[in-house]
Amino acid sequence: MSARSGCVLVTGGAGFIGANATNHLLESGRRVRILDNLSRPGSERNLQWLCEKHGDALEVVVGDVRNQGTVTSAMKDVDHVFHFAAQVAVTSSIVDPPLDFDVNARGTINILEAVRTSPRRPSILFTSTNKVYGNLADVDLVQSADRYTPADPKLRSYGVDESRRLDFHSPYGCSKGCADQYVLDYAKSFGVPAVVFRMSCIYGPRQFGNEDQGWLAHFVIRASRRERLFIYGDGRQVRDVLFVDDLIDAMVRVESRIESLAGRAFNVGGGPARTVSLREVIREIGRSLKRPLDVTHEAWRVGDQRYYVSDTRALEAATGWSPRVGVAEGLERLFQWADTLGRTAEADGATPLGVAP
């Protein structure tokens, strides 16, 4: 972990990953400031949880990464930045591409400029996405009853590595890909200690997911409330899933080595040992709830990948990291949180934030 004494800035700190990371950092004795505009459903609830748990130890700036003045002010005394703030939905990016660009691309430039001009020269870890590799339409797949599997044995054994060519698809893929490349170039052109995580599916408590992002938590919460689930495509899509605690472990390891790892991008996910298809998840949720689920199939969406699994060997070699939480354990912990969420909502006479009926 960083030996410097300054503050850690977590942008999007009231979001799912941000709240979990902030909680971990505060429990580790770090000084933490979060910057969040609280636009994401569930963020206010996460912020309340953090404030109740940590009180004055947490510094909160309610503001937007699109505002350079706000970002520059938030960077005061900062030694490291976890940059999570983003527009996260492919569907939303298609509805409003300029907004998507402003948040993801321009917002990241604002962060990078504040880092570059700061006297402390903070390091930065940026969360990108596997969508920078496009929909992987050239990958030959074998279809079984429940999932797609790559025909190529190496891809099947290890997943997609960082040598895969970039192929931005959808406005979201373009905006995150643009930010991804700017972060890496600021490391090369300006010497900013910066690392990029190209993430697969991250899941866990405090995730108020939707159909487009955070789908595993979205499925669990809606199914627990006996609400209909929508699957886009045939449900054989495969993803590697990573529990949020394992992600944060990887982030902290990278931060502690960031000077030597600067300028690198890592694919981050559960890897081949932690893959699920949508059909398999639906079946497992139904088994846990001991009842069939109400599921409707819709057409494939723009940029949907039938198969994506991260090859995490580069990250493992660089840091000694490996995931520890298996899929069964992670789902159980997600169910426990969703159950607590439901009981709290009943007591309050409300529905959980971020979960539309």
In angstroms, rounded to a whole number, what is the distance separating the alpha carbons of residues 272 and 159? 6
- Spot the catalytic one: 133, 148, 158, 172: 172
In this structure, are residues 180 and 108 in contact, taking their beta carbons and an 8 Å threshold? Answer: no
CA distances from 341 to 48, 259, 327, 351 (A): 14, 40, 21, 9
Residue 348: helix, strand or coil by DSSP? helix
Closest CA to 217 of 340, 351, 117, 335: 335
In angstroms, rounded to a whole number, what is the distance separating the alpha carbons of residues 213 and 104? 15
Query: What are the beta bridge partners of residue 193?
Result: none
* Both structure tokens of 353: 């934030």
In angstroms, rounded to a whole number, what is the distance separating the alpha carbons of residues 121 and 126? 16
In angstroms, rounded to a whole number, what is the distance separating the alpha carbons of residues 211 and 13? 22
- Dihedral angle over CA of 112, 117, 118, 119, nearest 10: 150
* Both structure tokens of 306: 């039938």
Query: What are the beta bridge partners of residue 231?
Result: 297
Closest CA to 146 of 353, 306, 334: 306
* Both structure tokens of 312: 């995490």
Is 148 designated active site?
Answer: no
Structure letter (DSSP) for residue 313: H
Q: Which residue's structure tokens are 């596997």?
A: 130
In angstroms, rounded to a whole number, what is the distance separating the alpha carbons of residues 151 and 138? 11
Closest CA to 272 of 161, 198, 132, 142: 161
Which residues have a catalytic role annotated? 172
